[in-house]
A and B are shown apart, each in its own frame.
Chain A
Amino acid sequence: MSAETFRIGFLPLVDAALPILAHELGFAAREGVNIELVRDMTWATVRDRLLYGHTDAAHMIAPLAIATALGRDRPAVSMAVPFVLGLNGNAVTFSTQLAKDVGLGETLGDPATIGAALQRVAAARKIAGKPLRFGVVHRYSSHNYMLRYWLAGVGIRPDTHIDIVVTSPPFAADALAAGEVDGICVGEPWNSIAVERGVGHIALATAQIWRRGVEKVLAMRDAVIDERRDAVEALLRALHAAAAHFVEPGTAEESADILARPEYLGAPRDAILRAITDRIRLVPGGEPIHYPDFMFQHREAANFPWRSQAAWLYSQMLRWDGAAYSATDAATAAAVFRPDIYRAALAGSGAPLPGASSKLEGGIDTPLGAGSVQGRLLLGSDRFFDGRAFDPDDIQGYLADLP
């Protein structure tokens, strides 16, 4: 029986929901697998436990899995991502002072408009010798890349006009409160906790920057996939069932109750519930507003690991590390995402399975039918805020065209 146990590392974030619920609500048991959850406070520790076998799989920021496979800052280890745990679910929160300086409203504004106002503040602060400083959860995080994508797109050059530093999610609100940073880009419930404490205003949901941005993934060492292929597929079915349950109307309260427990998030249940139901309180004491698809955990085959998502992350890694394009690295990065395993695990179920493994990212305006080998697949708008699209076969052309 021990061969069927998966120890899964996670950070206390709302989007760690799927492995937690798969365990708590019996989806794992139904597939004959046992999940043991291992909670940590830093991504470095989640990664180290995964690499040295303390865990078999991990809830992980997608770019970190790719950076690990590419051997960034350490020797390369082959990684596999057979399942996406969710899209978006993060927000950009300004300090109360910055919100005032930028003139943030009581609703979610337009990214370009807020960007233009922020650009003026950033320029003034730069001249005053106190450049704005934003915190992201990790160098290799979607938060870092989404924030930078937006800033560069509105004329604020990261590392030149604005400093970007690392702040772990549970300490992000503290950093805002202490004035160490002027803004943060983190996952929930940590933005809401900053708002609740009266130290921040939510400026944007990352879904406004990229409507269908890849977020956390289930990462494993390649070796584990090879050695335990059948059990891995059973685990994916359990996570897929948990995801279907998670987005079902009427389940949010129970999910929030479970996630709020001290052994999981140890965070206020109401903030978690709001994130799950796409309701966000932007300002202290304000009424939560509804922003559809704030978190996107299941519909439109959201759990399918598109190789083009990995390719986009690789393109941003090059962009901000100032590294040169390498065809070998691009292939390695894209190959971390494993749609083949996802399809094998869910063949014969009702789940829609895309026929392609890669797509044009940001190319859909209105819902579009997509080719599938099983089930019917309709993809909603996946636009970037600036209207650009990413062709995974032309990373160099895309990068050359970016600001």
Chain B
Amino acid sequence: MRIAIIDTSTTRAAIISDGLREAGLDDLVLIDPAGPLVAQVEAAKPEVVLINLENPSRDLLEDFFAMSRALAWPIAMFVDQSDAEATGAAIDAGVSAYVVDGLSKQRIKPVIDLAVRRFQAFSRLQRELDEAKNALAERATIDRAKAILMKRRGIDEPAAYALLRGQAMRTNRRIAEIAEAIVTSDALLGDME
């Protein structure tokens, strides 16, 4: 069963194709998002097409599939009517699927389920990455706030940190927020003395 993967994120496309390959589905075609979409899909002749929900080429792709009905190779959106929840879950995960006419549900279902899990895993990864980036940025802000306090008040690093921590506890805010306020006010008022 040939599966084409169309994704604006090449990382996610790689994650999905790895998963499909592990499951023994290795007839895969990765569509290059920078190239001509329809020509690539037409040449690949896939039986299943997986595309991210927010891909800006979906209207174009659906039009091509509608036209393919007139040819000998009709493809339609995969909508599992007996199990609306499954299609809903795919949409929730951000993936939509199109399948060639006549392909049995038993063969498609595992592909979609796997794609959904991989999409979810990718979202989780991205969230973790964002959190890690934020944590890193917060650490940098706290370091800068400590440096400002050390310079202005002539204190050492543990004292500067204690000052930040004490203020955070008294005002019921996070240390990063206090640090952010110090860095901002230093940027605005730093030269006044």
Contact = CB atoms under 8 A, between A and B. Distances in A.
Contact of B60 (A45, A54, A75, A167): A167
B53 A139 contact: no
Contacts of A74: 76-77, 79
Contacts of A168: 56-57, 59-60
A180 B60 CA distance: 13
Interface residues of B, number: 23
A138 B63 contact: yes
Contacts of B63: 138-139, 165-166
A49 B76 contact: no
Interface in B73-102: 76-77, 79, 81, 87-88, 91-92, 96
Given A48-B53, A75-B81, A43 B59 contact: yes
Contacts, number: 58
Interface in B35-65: 53-63, 65
Nearest to B53: A45
Contacts of B87: 52
A13 B66 CA distance: 25
B77 A52 contact: no
Contacts of B92: 52, 54
A41 interface: yes
Contacts of B91: 48-49, 52, 54
Contacts of A54: 91-92
Interface string A163-175: 0011110110000
A98 B63 CA distance: 25
B88 A45 contact: no
Given A48-B91, A75-B79, A168-B60, A42 B66 contact: no
A289 interface: no
A73 interface: yes
Nearest to A144: B63
Contacts of A75: 79, 81
Nearest to A72: B66
Interface of B: 53-63, 65-66, 69, 76-77, 79, 81, 87-88, 91-92, 96
What are the 8 tightest A-B residue pairs by CB atom distance, in nearest-first order? A166-B63, A44-B58, A42-B58, A52-B91, A41-B56, A42-B59, A52-B88, A139-B63
25 contacts: A40-B54, A41-B54, A42-B57, A42-B58, A43-B59, A44-B96, A45-B53, A48-B53, A48-B91, A49-B91, A52-B87, A54-B92, A73-B65, A73-B76, A73-B77, A74-B77, A74-B79, A139-B62, A139-B63, A165-B60, A165-B63, A166-B60, A168-B56, A168-B57, A171-B56
Given A42-B56, A73-B62, 15 more contacts: A41-B54, A42-B55, A42-B58, A45-B53, A48-B91, A52-B87, A54-B91, A54-B92, A73-B66, A138-B63, A139-B66, A165-B63, A166-B62, A167-B60, A171-B56
